[in-house]
Structures are given as structure tokens and as C-alpha cells.
């Protein structure tokens, strides 16, 4: 019997492995099937779907909250935990392999380099964090802000995108403001004008989402950052919904800081986040959590990310998720999300009883679509989707439903959702 399977069935930690008892340990979860150019179109994506241990007969449409990891990622994490659980006595913490188990004390240069290639920056500009909220707080708490400085969010922030700025306003006497975003947002100029309408000579920080979580609007961030730079305003982008959903090039965007949760669209394990701070300004950001290298001036990304002992298996899964993404390829991955998002929106636009709250301008849309159906609340629509077809999008607010599509979804699943909505006319 495979040692790993034996451990799961008979080991003293078997009870802790309960969530994975249905996991197919006989399957080869390697990346070799993904690395092909001979299979294209829907046949390729059917093959990709098989790389996820999602239960058949149920459809997950809530990737905007949490992305399900592939079998390859889960397998990597499980094997890592089991290996170190079995081999604890062989670990040499002074001269051997011990340091890899402490994770938060070490620079993780290989993983940061891979992530830097995805968002186009040097690995020393990247910190590994737990999620986007951590990134926002590292920047907010690290800036030298004073009483009277103005901090600008939008009125469509996720809770993880405004907390630090409201706290700073209360603690330091800064002035907290919100720009009102249009709904639906179909004109980039209208978005830009709404933001700079609130800017004054006292504005020190513009902290806005790259993609608005509730509506899926892809903001014209490059233009906003360019104008802010001319005015000497520090720009922070909430990219929680972005890396793995749309192309992110932080150098082209021109922001000062960017953070993201890669357990969403990159399909990494929960607790996988990144923070980018431009090398030209990172020296002005104080360390929020201080450890051994809190004043490291050679690798500022490492300086900001030290959190002490962490979950090394999580980092192994994080790296596996990046490899999974790179094997499929960024262009193919992002293109599929866009294709499915457009397919869903095109179907919804044909129904008179449906109101689209997401942008109908495809330049401002990707994999998230938010809509409402006349005569039924958001929670009831979510319930109806599940009862009729075992489809699981997410209700947002009293009236709306947020529908996220990803590479493990299919057009056939979207057609089933559209069928349910059409029957509610």
C-alpha cells in the first residue's frame, strides 16, 4: 500500500485528515496533462476540470470569495504536512532542513521570483502575506501620515479595503473620504472624474480597488495612477480580485503599492497573499511586524513580510498553485475567464426581466457579473439556483446575485444558470 494512503487510514493523525477522505489518492495529480498544445477548445477545458476534485453534479460559481484549489495543489500540501509529521526527528534546525519549516523567517526567493514574473516586478519588491487585508494594513500603518492628511477610498470598497484607512483617520486625525462610483460603470472617464472630484491639495493617498468586488468593474487604474503621480499622491491598489483574473502589470499601471489575495483567482490555498511596493518608495514604509530583519535595506520585500513561524505546507501549496497557473499559461487562463464572463453577460442581456449591475462595457468586465432578476430577491435567487440545478453563485445585498466564472467552469453550466433565470420571467 502507498505509504501516504496508509498514513491517512491508520496513522494517529487520521482524524485530522477527515476533510480529505473523499480525495482520490489513486489519481496522478501531476501537471503533465496540462502542458499540451494538442488539445484545444472545450476538450482542453474538460481535461482541466478533471484536475479539480470538485464534486460532480454540483457547480461552484463563487470564485470571487474563494477559489477551489486543484488536486495538484492539495496533493502538494498534504504530502508536505505528512512528510514533516513523519520525519520530525530527522530535522536539524541548525545546519539542515529545519529552517524551511519556520517559513516566516526566510526570504522565499524562488516563489517571490515566480510571482514577480507574473505581475512584472523584481522579487525584492514583493512580500508574501496572508491576504489582501494584510497588504493594505502593512502599507497604511507604514506610511508617515499626519493630522489633516486626506485619505481617499471609493464607496464600493470591500471591508478589507477600507479598514486601515478609517483606523488611521481615527487614530492620527486624518480625513477619510469616499468617491461615489457609478452603477453600472460603463464609461472610464466617468470613474476617473468621480475620483478626482474628491481630490484636494491635502490628499495624500488614493486607495482604490483594481476590480470592484461587488460589481466586478475593472477600474481604469493606469490613468488614475498617472494623474495621481502628477499631483504627488501615493496610490495603493486593492487587487484582491485581480491576480489570476486579469493581467496585472504593476510597472505599466504605475501604482506605488498593490496587494492581492491569490486564494481567489490564482486558486492558491487560503491564506496566500502578496504585497508589492515600488522600490522607489518602499524605503518610506515602516515595518508593521518587526522580526530579525526588520531593518533590512537590501530586500525590502523580505523586511515587510517577516511574521515568524508560519505554515510551510501552505507555502508549498502556494508555489504549486503558481506552477499550475504557469503550466496552463497566463494568456490561455485569463482568456478563458474572459470568454466565460462574456458568455454569461451576453445571455443575461437578452432577458428583459434581468438588470445588469456590472459593466456592459466589456473593457471594464472580466469574470465577475452581478445582476438582479425582477420579482425575486438575491438570497431567494441563490436558493433557487441550488434547488433546481445545484448551482452555487453568491447573493450580494438584498436584490443582487454575483456570479463568478473560472477555468473549471463550462458553458454548459452557464447555460443551466441562464435556463433557471429565463424560467423566472
- Bigger pLDDT: 359 vs 39: 359
pLDDT tens sequence across 242-272: 999 999 999 999 999 999 999 999 999 999 9
In a domain, 125, yes or no: yes
pLDDT tens sequence across 185-235: 999 999 999 999 999 999 999 999 999 999 999 999 999 999 999 999 999
**Sheet harboring 150-154: ordered strands across?**
126-129, 273-277, 257-261, 234-238, 203-209, 150-154, 175-179
Q: Do both 391 and 272 map to the same domain?
A: no
Residue 3 has pLDDT above 50, yes or no: no
User: What is the band of 128 on the pLDDT scale with cuts at 50, 70, 90?
Assistant: very high
Q: Do both 278 and 382 map to the same domain?
A: no
Find the helix or strand (DSSP H, E) in which 369 lies.
Answer: strand 368-373
pLDDT tens sequence across 388-397: 999 999 999 8
CATH number at residue 386: 3.90.1150.10
User: What is the band of 294 on the pLDDT scale with cuts at 50, 70, 90?
Assistant: confident
In a domain, 294, yes or no: yes
**Could you tell me the CA-to-CA distances from 194 to 91, 180, 183, 204, 226 in Å, in that order?**
57, 6, 12, 17, 16
Residue 1 has pLDDT above 60, yes or no: no
Q: Do both 217 and 344 map to the same domain?
A: no
Copy the grid coordinates of residue 57: 453534479
Find the helix or strand (DSSP H, E) in which 284 lies.
Answer: none
- What integer pLDDT is reported at residue 51 of this predicted model? 94
pLDDT tens sequence across 5-59: 333 333 333 333 334 433 456 677 888 888 776 678 899 999 999 999 999 999 9
**Could you tell me the CA-to-CA distances from 260 to 100, 264, 350 in Å, in that order?**
24, 9, 34
In a domain, 59, yes or no: no
- What integer pLDDT is reported at residue 99 of this predicted model? 60
Q: Which residues pair with 177 in a beta bridge?
A: 152
In a domain, 32, yes or no: no
Tell which of 291, 321, 351 closes a domain: 321
Q: Do both 175 and 285 map to the same domain?
A: yes
Q: Do both 294 and 149 map to the same domain?
A: yes
75's CB contacts (< 8 A; 6+ apart) are: 29
Q: Do both 227 and 343 map to the same domain?
A: no
Tell which of 270, 303, 321 closes a domain: 321
In a domain, 16, yes or no: no
Q: Do both 317 and 399 map to the same domain?
A: no
Residue 75 has pLDDT above 70, yes or no: yes
Q: Do both 305 and 410 map to the same domain?
A: no
Tell which of 269, 301, 321 closes a domain: 321
User: What is the band of 95 on the pLDDT scale with cuts at 50, 70, 90?
Assistant: low
In a domain, 305, yes or no: yes
Q: Do both 365 and 217 map to the same domain?
A: no
- What integer pLDDT is reported at residue 7 of this predicted model? 32
In a domain, 40, yes or no: no
Q: Do both 132 and 191 map to the same domain?
A: yes
- Bigger pLDDT: 399 vs 12: 399
- What integer pLDDT is reported at residue 346 of this predicted model? 97
Instruction: Give CA–CA dist 130/142, Å, rounded.
Output: 17
pTM listed for this prediction: 0.91
- Domain hosting 200: range is 100-321
- What integer pLDDT is reported at residue 107 of this predicted model? 87
Q: Do both 129 and 174 map to the same domain?
A: yes
Across 268-319, the runs of DSSP E, i.e. the strands, are 273-277, 308-309
- What integer pLDDT is reported at residue 17 of this predicted model? 36
In a domain, 48, yes or no: no
pLDDT tens sequence across 306-340: 888 888 899 999 999 999 999 999 999 999 999 99
Q: Do both 276 and 341 map to the same domain?
A: no
CATH number at residue 132: 3.40.640.10
Total domains in the fold of the chain: 2
Averaged pLDDT score across all residues of the chain: 90
Amino acid at each position: 500500500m502507498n505509504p501516504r494512503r496508509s498514513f491517512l487510514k491508520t496513522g494517529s493523525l487520521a482524524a485530522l485528515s477527515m476533510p480529505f477522505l473523499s480525495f482520490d489518492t489513486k489519481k496522478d495529480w501531476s501537471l503533465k496533462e496540462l502542458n499540451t498544445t494538442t488539445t484545444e477548445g472545450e476538450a482542453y477545458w474538460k481535461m482541466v476540470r478533471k484536475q479539480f476534485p470538485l464534486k460532480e453534479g454540483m457547480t461552484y460559481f463563487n470564485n470571487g470569495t474563494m477559489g477551489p484549489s486543484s488536486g495538484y495543489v492539495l496533493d502538494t500540501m498534504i504530502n508536505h504536512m505528512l512528510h514533516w509529521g513523519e520525519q520530525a526527528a530527522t530535522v536539524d534546525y541548525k545546519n539542515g532542513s529545519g529552517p524551511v519549516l519556520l517559513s516566516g523567517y526566510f526570504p522565499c526567493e524562488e516563489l517571490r521570483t515566480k510571482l514577480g514574473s507574473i505581475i512584472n516586478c523584481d522579487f525584492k519588491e514583493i512580500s508574501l502575506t496572508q491576504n489582501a487585508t494584510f497588504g493594505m494594513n502593512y502599507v497604511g500603518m507604514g506610511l508617515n501620515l499626519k493630522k489633516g492628511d486626506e485619505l481617499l477610498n471609493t464607496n464600493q470598497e470591500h471591508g478589507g479595503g477600507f479598514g486601515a484607512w478609517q483606523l488611521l483617520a481615527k487614530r492620527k486625525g486624518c480625513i477619510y473620504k469616499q468617491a461615489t462610483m457609478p452603477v453600472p460603470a460603463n464609461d472610464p472617464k466617468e470613474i476617473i472624474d468621480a475620483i478626482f472630484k474628491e481630490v484636494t491639495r491635502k490628499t495624500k493617498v488614493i486607495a482604490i480597488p483594481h476590480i470592484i468586488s461587488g460589481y466586478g468593474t475593472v477600474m481604469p487604474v493606469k490613468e488614475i495612477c498617472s494623474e495621481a503621480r502628477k499631483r504627488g499622491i501615493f496610490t495603493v491598489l486593492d487587487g484582491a480580485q485581480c491576480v489570476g483574473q486579469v493581467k496585472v502589470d504593476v510597472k505599466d499601471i504605475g501604482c506605488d503599492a498593490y496587494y492581492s489575495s491569490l486564494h481567489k483567482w490564482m486558486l492558491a490555498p487560503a491564506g496566500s497573499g502578496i504585497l508589492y511596493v515600488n522600490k522607489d518608495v518602499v524605503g518610506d514604509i515602516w515595518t508593521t511586524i518587526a522580526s530579525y530583519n526588520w531593518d533590512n535595506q537590501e530586500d525590502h520585500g523580505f523586511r515587510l513580510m517577516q511574521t515568524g513561524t508560519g505554515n510551510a505546507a501552505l507555502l508549498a501549496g502556494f508555489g504549486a498553485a503558481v506552477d499550475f497557473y504557469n503550466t496552463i499559461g497566463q494568456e490561455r487562463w485569463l482568456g478563458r475567464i474572459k470568454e466565460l464572463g462574456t458568455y454569461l453577460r451576453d445571455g443575461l442581456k437578452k432577458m428583459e426581466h434581468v438588470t445588469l449591475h456590472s459593466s456592459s462595457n466589456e473593457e471594464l468586465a472580466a469574470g465577475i457579473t452581478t445582476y438582479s432578476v425582477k420579482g425575486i430577491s438575491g438570497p431567494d435567487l441563490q436558493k433557487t439556483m441550488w434547488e433546481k440545478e445545484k448551482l452555487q453563485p453568491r447573493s450580494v445585498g438584498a436584490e443582487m446575485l454575483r456570479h463568478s466564472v473560472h477555468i473549471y467552469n463550462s458553458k454548459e453550466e452557464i447555460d443551466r444558470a441562464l435556463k433557471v433565470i429565463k424560467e423566472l420571467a
